Amino acid sequence: MSLFPGVALVTGAASGIGRATAVAFAAEGCTKIAICDRAADGLAETKRLIEGKQGDDGRKVEVEVVAGDVSREESVTNMVQTIVKRWGRIDYAVNCAGIQGPPKRSTEFELEEFDAINRVNYRGLWMCSRAELKQMMKQEPLQTHDGRPGNRGVIVHIASQLGIVSRTNAAAYCASKAAVISLTKSDAIDYSNDRIQVNCVCPGLVQTPMVQGPEQQKLFAPAVAIAPMDRMGEPEEIADACLFLCSSKATFVQGAALVVDGGYTIN
Ligand SMILES: NC(=O)c1ccc[n+]([C@@H]2O[C@H](COP(=O)([O-])OP(=O)(O)OC[C@H]3O[C@@H](n4cnc5c(N)ncnc54)[C@H](O)[C@@H]3O)[C@@H](O)[C@H]2O)c1
């Protein structure tokens, strides 16, 4: 039996960590995968990559593409309704959509720049989580790979190492990610009795378009050097952590902020 017999949803799936997570679900045997993002072209490429993973063992992977903006309530409602209409449930929800904002200190930040970050990273993620929780509460638990009674669903938020420690010129971003960690713990408490798991992953610096411009590489070089492993992570290494938390190998993990950062936050 696959570790992922249920339905997966990944937001921010048009690029970077979200794309790698959606593709990893397919590679690890999940056959019902919804990919959501506001970037339609990127979603089409992710769908192509997922479809490239099927066939190795005769499996057919079904992909639902939902273009939408996680900061808009109607998009979030549409996302969940579309998936439930097609497959009847959502078992693994990875909320990955996020933005970084300009590198400035708080006194140089405009209110609109602050709001833009929080509309996506915190408020948007909360709206996705709320809609996913509402759906998960209505569904029966999925059995685990070894026959134990499983849980009703798993939510994994993508926070950041910068929700735990801070860096210069990123106050609004760091605070938005700290909020995600706090939300994770609070919802983990509130939905444990419903047998829903809520965890988050805190990636270190990861090779994605978010950090790959020449400006960003200059900005982030000192941060890479702080991490004992002295390199950036690959999106697939974050996807692995997300899949572990979604899998039936992690049924007792609750409210965790799993740091995957090459050791950046050790010191
Ligand atoms: N790359 C890193 O070093 C790093 C480190 C820590 C945390 N993160 C977090 O990981 C997550 C993924 O980032 P990434 O590095 O893969 O970046 P990315 O830019 O490659 O991917 C982010 C995706 O989110 C989508 N998105 C942004 N706003 C959206 C919205 N309003 N509605 C729908 N989709 C939206 C984008 O279109 C994009 O496809 C983010 O939450 C980011 O904060 C990244």
CATH at 95: 3.40.50.720
Answer whether residue 92 is part of any domain.
Answer: yes
Instruction: List the domain range (segments joined by +) for residue 202.
Output: 7-260
58, pLDDT greater than 90: no
Model confidence at 56, in pLDDT bands (50, 70, 90)?
low
CA of 208 to the centre of ligand 1 (A): 8
- Cβ atoms of residues 26 and 54 within 8 Å: yes
Answer whether residue 1 is part of any domain.
Answer: no
Taking alpha carbons only, the member of 190, 164, 196 closest to residue 179 is 164
Taking alpha carbons only, the member of 208, 53, 204, 186 closest to residue 129 is 186
Answer whether residue 266 is part of any domain.
Answer: no
Answer whether residue 230 is part of any domain.
Answer: yes
CA of 173 to the centre of ligand 1 (A): 12
Mutate to test the pocket of ligand 1, among 10, 72, 210, 220 (most ligand atoms within 8 A of CB): 210
- Cβ atoms of residues 244 and 178 within 8 Å: no
Answer whether residue 110 is part of any domain.
Answer: yes
pLDDT reported for residue 223:
86
List pocket residues of ligand 1, CB cut-off 6 Å: 12, 14-18, 37-39, 42, 69-71, 96-99, 120, 124, 158, 160, 203, 205-206, 208-211
Q: How many domains does the chain contain in total?
A: 1
* Average pLDDT over every residue of 175-196: 98
pLDDT reported for residue 205:
96
Answer whether residue 12 is part of any domain.
Answer: yes
Answer whether residue 117 is part of any domain.
Answer: yes
User: Which residues does the annotation mark as catalytic?
Assistant: 173, 177
77, pLDDT greater than 70: yes
pLDDT reported for residue 222:
87
211, pLDDT greater than 80: yes
